[in-house]
Amino acid sequence: MFRLIAKEGRARRGEFTTAHGVVQTPVFMNVGTQAAIKGALSSEDLERIGCQIELSNTYHLHLRPGDMLIRAQGGLHKFMSWDRPILTDSGGFQIFSLAGLRKISEEGVTFSSHIDGRRIFMSPEDCMRIQANLGSDIAMAFDECVEIPSPRDYVEKSCDRTYRWLVRCRDEMRRQMEQPDAVNRGELLFGINQGAVFPELRIRHMRQIAELDLPGYAIGGLAVGETVGEMYDIIETVEEHMPADKPRYLMGVGTPANILEGVARGVDFFDCVMPARNGRHGHLYTWSGVINMNNEKHAGDSRPIDETCACPVCQRYSRAYLRHLFKAEEMLALRLAVMHNLYFYNALMQKIRDALDCGEFHAFRARHAEILSNRI
């Protein structure tokens, strides 16, 4: 399912085939947690900004509107009118960051819904059944996302349990895929590596889960409080032990510079709420750095956000207009800003892939890493 097209150092150019089409990697997944992109972007907008694969959340959709409802509507693709690939995050991270009153046992996790406080139990099997009901193309394993910092003892025990959960996930997903009325019989399970910032735990866990020969592997539990340096170190440590013929997904990361560094360290899939969130705050990406639309200096500027950008926003609207929309608190401000930022992320990945295709990724990274972090 994963085909490696080119390599440059550890950076990889690949193709991942799913039941809803081929994903060109490295790829950024556009985040639609509740089956909708923030900033009022529709599925149609996603197509226009070059999104290859959308990411929704198992925890959120299980709570609302309910995975059985989505199943009855023909699955998530049909529900949100998106016929390209979808990855569903397992909700492990959300249960440990968003839900209240968690109680974790070998069997699973009991927690309170962040919406209405209702007590809910979720086992690895439940999580797989929910994702099978959603019918995503890639289902993420049910894991415990431990806080950083956490005591080594706790992390070790947690990793062992997450491994046992992964075996249960694999078995249940197999069972789900054999059901004649499965929503998406091509649904693929990705395992998630944990281990906080302890290299030996990360490695041991990665070796264990690699043996299960799953269609892909993620590095989870990062971007949750460690330094950027620690994050890069862990990617390097884990990457050596990840199967070379499977895609690697760095969960919840990150800035354009983080993505360049992730690609350089052998990562293929990324996702992050940052471009949409920054957009809503008026922070817009350009190929010269980040600009703040709330800044007075844009008030009379008839140029687009970025003169070199081909996105639907830059093709049509000026900085002056965008700044007006932000000051006037028009919802359109958020939509145009998010649309531009997501286009920018998708365009960044396209440029990374193009560079890899030409063997010029390292030059591209050297040229852009610093510029993209500028605040101008």
- Nearer residue to a second copy within complex by CB, 336 or 342: 336
Q: Which of 45, 67, 89, 268 is catalytic?
A: 89
Does residue 67 carry a catalytic annotation? Answer: no
Backbone angles phi, psi at 370, to 5 degrees: -80, -45
Report in angstroms how near the CB of residue 66 gets to a second copy at its nearest: 9
**For residues 11 and 266, is the Cβ–Cβ distance under 8 A?**
yes
State the first-to-last Cα distance of the chain, in angstroms, to the nearest integer.
42
The verdict on whether residue 159 carries a ligand-binding annotation is no
- Asked about 89 being catalytic, the answer comes back as yes
Shortest distance (Å) from residue 345 CB to a second copy: 19
Name the residue nearer to a second copy (CB basis): 192 or 339. Answer: 339
CA pair distance 277, 282, nearest whole angstrom: 9
Choose between 241 and 327: whose C-beta lies nearer to a second copy. 327
Nearer to a second copy, 240 or 330 (CB): 330
The answer to whether 280 and 340 have CB atoms below 8 angstroms apart is no
- Residue 176 assigned to a binding site: no
In the complex with a second copy, which residue's Cβ is closer, 73 or 112? Answer: 73
Nearest to 29 by CA among 48, 52, 63: 52
User: Is 309 within any annotated ligand binding site?
Assistant: yes
**Is 92 annotated among the ligand-binding residues?**
yes
Provide, rounded to whole angstroms, the least separation between the CB of residue 173 and a second copy: 25
252 known ligand binder: no
Q: How far is the CB of 78 from a second copy (least distance, A)?
A: 8
Q: Please give the residue ranges that form the binding site for a second copy (CB under 8 A).
A: 34-44, 60, 64-65, 69, 72-74, 79-81, 299-300, 302, 312, 316-318, 320-321, 323-325, 327-328, 330-336
Residue in 126, 137, 271, 306 annotated catalytic: 271
* Closest distance of CB 102 from a second copy, Å: 23
Is residue 51 annotated as involved in ligand binding? no
Nearest partner of 252 among 76, 11, 37, 29, judged by Cα: 29
Binding residue positions for Zn(2+): 309, 311, 314, 340
Q: Which residues are catalytic?
A: 89, 271
